[in-house]
Amino acid sequence: MALFLGMQLGCTKYCCFLCEWDTRDKKKHHVNKLWPKRTSLTPRGEKVINPSLGLPEKIYLPPLQIKLGLIKNFVKGMDKTGRGFEYVRNRFPNVSDEKIKEGIFIGPQIRELMKDKQFDEDLKETERNAWLSFKRICEDALGNHKAANYQDVVQDLLISYKATG
């Protein structure tokens, strides 16, 4: 993505093509949630070294990246002392507690959880609503076929995620 947009590769200060997220600002790294939007991709400015080969507005994030981000936010919003979180810990014993707390999973692990009925039952009501919304997003908006009401599905997901925190 960075190469396509003419951005500097490697570990840079402003590596996001959407905003001016400062990777080196450790004090604000997990505190600041709203970073200023990147206004342009002009060469010699904010780690852009070449002219862009395309418009950032025309770039679509891969469904897997969206899914990984959504599961990360879901797990971070879970009650860490609840049965649902404990079930995830026991379900993936080879994954470190730090990765589970941060919601870092891979595609096959997410698919396992999506098929697991016991996980659905162990969640609290607000968590279950968010989880079911996540599953609906994966099936109706991020799959090979987009449902006609995908905008409603996205709206439901946003509401249920907000309820979980």
Any idea which residue has 């950032």 for tokens?
56
d(CA 142, CA 144): 7
CA nearest neighbour of 14 among 24, 4, 6? 24
d(CA 147, CA 145): 6
**pTM of the predicted model, to two decimals?**
0.67
Segment 35-92, tens digit of pLDDT:
666 666 655 565 666 667 677 667 777 788 888 888 888 888 888 888 988 999 999 8
Question: Which pLDDT value is given to residue 43?
Answer: 57
d(CA 48, CA 56): 13
The alpha-helical segments, DSSP class H, found in 50-82 are: 63-77
Segment 102-159, tens digit of pLDDT:
888 888 888 899 898 998 888 899 999 999 998 988 888 887 777 888 888 888 888 9
